[in-house]
Amino acid sequence: MQFRTRAIHVGNAPDRETGAVVRPVHLAATYVQPGAGQWGEYDYTRSGNPTRKALETTLASLECGVSALAFSSGMAAIHAVTMLLEQGDHIVAGSDLYGGTYRLLTWIVRRTGIEVTLAPAHDLERLEAAFRPNTRLLWVETPGNPLLSITDIAACARLAHRHGALLGVDNTFATPVLTRPLELGADITMHSATKYLGGHSDLLGGALVVKDPKLYDRLYFIQNATGAVLGPLESFLCSRGLRTLELRVREQCRSAARLAAFLAAHPRVARVFYPGLDDHPGHEIAQRQMDGAFGAMVSFEIAGTLEQAKRVVERTRLFQLAVSLGAVESLIEQPALMSH
């Protein structure tokens, strides 16, 4: 089945009891068991929920993985990945990194005795130089947030595996519509489901998708033990958003490409960061690993001061001044003052 067909049908079979085309939202916190010490498919909603499972099934299909886990936020999903590591281990992360991930790695994860080094993921020589004998995880974003740097996922997978490390990819900006990191050798794909997957600015969520059943079992144990699961209402909203994911993302990419070209020609714009532009340093890699488009995010620098940039984001009409991204409305923000 094609991508958009799987987004509608995989994980969304009609309800077996009623035939309802839209599956019901299962709000139950606990489930009756067949007997003492005998377990049905679901027992407690932290450990599993039918509405959440439907979403996870769809996500696994779209990312070409074996299984997925839906979390209460993207940060909770990343935190679960770091819990695979132990005291004394080392993480290498790309330096073009979402501010929340930076805070998690440098202010929280380091407290547990796990070392963290940031390096430019688009420069493979400098990235490999950051590896140590105890490196167990390479974490990258592509396109990066906020500079939209492009990382060669397949090359990073070879690098990480050569050093005995896992490769995790934050695929929030590209979405599985454009890039499927597991197909390129990554071990873990992560999403802030709040963004494009949900697509309507009405849910908070995160997700991990993997291709190794044993790795899934480890992450499931961590999620169940720590409890940062996505609620059933949010799971329902995200499942609904996935049905139109490809349609939305491709239209948003077309708009972003036109906007990037307009900004690149504007006399008051100093620099535009958009992988679809021919002069973007990652353009060729993006052509190779992104499916027919270059994402719906555009970053740019004005020819002016920080204060002048602040006035720009405060005076747009259709673009609303707010953090987040990926929904049907257009947003604008100043990362240095708002998200990073």
Known catalytic residues? Answer: 46, 98, 170, 195
List the one residue out of 112, 113, 103 whose CA is nearest residue 75. Answer: 103
Tell the residue number behind the tokens 């139950």, with chain if given.
Answer: 28
Angstrom distances, CA of residue 53 to CA of 48, 50, 56, 278: 7, 5, 5, 41
Angstrom distances, CA of residue 154 to CA of 16, 188, 213, 323: 41, 13, 21, 31
Q: Which helix (H) or strand (E) holds 154?
A: helix 153-162
Q: Report the amino acid identity of residue 140.
A: V
List the one residue out of 260, 333, 338 whose CA is nearest residue 293. Answer: 260
Angstrom distances, CA of residue 34 to CA of 24, 37, 39, 203, 331: 23, 9, 7, 34, 50
Angstrom distances, CA of residue 35 to CA of 32, 38, 39, 49: 9, 5, 7, 20
DSSP 271: E
Cβ atoms of 296 and 302 closer than 8 Å: no
Q: Which helix (H) or strand (E) holds 320?
A: strand 320-321
